[in-house]
Structure 1
Amino acid sequence: MVKLLPSIPNLLTNSRNPTPRSLMNLAKRPSWEVRELVLQNPNVTAEVLFVLASDEEFWVRQLVARHPKTPESAMTLLSQDPCDFVRESLATNPNCSAELLRRLAQDKSYVVRKSVVQNPNVTDDILALLAKDSDDRVRRAVAIHPKTPPSLLAVLAQDPWYWVQTGVLCNPQAPIDIVLSIVQKLKDRDDFFIRKAIEQSPFFPFLSFLLVVPFPLE
């Protein structure tokens, strides 16, 4: 009986078979499907990930940017990737260092900067930097973030965009005096998004009890 050689997909999904050398060889295959399967293998090495960080296909580089085993050297390379989607994925990687997060916090793309806010390792100094961001969507992400300190929430409560102010309303760490000041400023504006933000605030039962919000919420 002829024993058939395993196919590449079977080889890559069977964690007992691929060696680091075979994975490196497969990572250089012209088929992007094969290279993508390499990244899904639990035995993929830092060396292979570094090679694939320069892959010609952006979605392969994006997978490397998200990968929990991606080494610092590959992350540094990916932080300068020309594709916004790759840098965005890197910004959400929980293994991304504070140094790289600071670099990404100054990225040209607001989507990347907003993703930095969502990284579990984001620090107070990075949040302070992004609280001054030129894009209101980034500032609102900081306003909502549960790690944002009260001193920054007080600043964001004075933001010229009410969209940012309503982000503070949704933050469970916001001091009640700041929440009351925002509601007092916005309560007379007949705006659906303001009403929904107040309704979704963790302080809403208290606010409604005090009749701070005079209009009905749907």
Structure 2
Amino acid sequence: MIWNGANHIDALIIFLSLGITYMPDVEKIRKWASSQEVSTREKAALNPEAPPEILERLAEDEEWWIRACVCKNENVPVHVLRKLSKDPRPDVRSWASTNEQTPHGALERLAEKGTYHTLLMLAGNGAAPPRVVKRLVADPNNDVRDTASEHPNLPEGLLELMRRAGRDADLTNRPSEEGGEPLSESERERLMEAGPFGQRLVALNPSTPPDVLGRLAENAHWYGRVGVAKSTTTPEETVRKLATDDDYEVRQTVASRPDAPKEVLSQLAEDEKRRVRSAASENMG
């Protein structure tokens, strides 16, 4: 059939009247994708009719913003999203975390190692599975926890358990240093498994036994280890061990303990970090 120069709208009307499925102008999108102009390639990357093979090519673009735009397109193949979730540029990984088609394995990896912005954007992904949301609601950052607390896939009862364990009703607040209600062994395990904030709640809870505090001192995230260093029920042996922790914030917390042994304070007064030295010196008077 010869169209004799019929414009785009007329062509679409004729296609529909004949019962023919309208096909997007792939050649036009392909031309945009090959443009030297970033703004033009962006149009191709965001176009909802862009074919997967064009998006796959744009996912290799040297301009990070184009790769980020590919993450927003619903037509992007899953294997491309998986690759972009490992992109060298954090901004691209952040946008990959927002696509509801990004594989759960990639989302779990981003939840464990993502930057602040990646975690915050991931917390807004409605398709994030419960195990990812559980990790985000136990993140050290207030904003990430607050966003994740509104997620529809948040494991049932976890927020209530966190409140009982010692956090205030305001979900952006830090854990109470006075701890909370007594926890059962299974409740402690659930909180510790959730992530850093849960570990800190367990560390600060007065019902936590010494052996659990010792485990946290050995294996917890630094945010949880700070909780152990701060807890008034932490045994002296564990406090001494934390005085040599790799994280300076843990050592600084030990240096601020009113009951820190004098020899530990003397050791920390020579620490490589100024904040640790200052805390120890001030504590020694």
| TM-score normalised by L of structure 1 | 0.61
Report what 1:86 is aligned to: 66
Check 1:188–1:180 CA distance in 2 against 1; reply closer, same or farther (3 A cut): closer
Residue type of the partner of 1:194? T
Report what 2:168 is aligned to: 187
Report what 2:80 is aligned to: 100
Bigger RCO (CA 8 Å, 6+ sep): 1
CA contact under 8 A between 1:168 and 1:179: conserved in structure 2? no
| TM-score normalised by L of structure 2 | 0.48
Report what 2:9 is aligned to: 15
Check 1:102–1:173 CA distance in 2 against 1; reply closer, same or farther (3 A cut): same
1:167-196 per-residue CA deviation (whole Å, 9 max, x = no partner) reads 22111221232212444554288xxx827x
Cα distance in 1, alignment partners of residues 101 and 79 from structure 2 = 11
Report what 1:165 is aligned to: 145
Cα distance in 2, alignment partners of residues 68 and 97 from structure 1 = 13
Cα distance in 2, alignment partners of residues 95 and 182 from structure 1 = 39
Alignment of 1:96-175 (within 5 A): 96-175=76-155
Residue type of the partner of 1:139? L
Name whichever of 129-138 and 177-186 sits farther off. Answer: 177-186
Check 1:51–1:144 CA distance in 2 against 1; reply closer, same or farther (3 A cut): closer
Check 1:185–1:167 CA distance in 2 against 1; reply closer, same or farther (3 A cut): farther
Unmatched segments (≥5 aa) in structure 1: 1-10, 19-41, 196-218
The count of aligned residue pairs is 159
CA contact under 8 A between 2:71 and 2:99: conserved in structure 1? yes
Identity %: 20
Residue 148 of structure 1: CA displacement? 2.0
Cα distance in 2, alignment partners of residues 162 and 101 from structure 1 = 28
1:69-95 per-residue CA deviation (whole Å, 9 max, x = no partner) reads 222222122111122221121101000
Asked if 1:65 corresponds to 2:59, the answer is no
Unmatched segments (≥5 aa) in structure 2: 13-21, 174-285
The structure with the larger Rg is 2
CA contact under 8 A between 1:50 and 1:73: conserved in structure 2? no
Asked if 1:54 corresponds to 2:34, the answer is yes
Cα distance in 2, alignment partners of residues 13 and 125 from structure 1 = 47
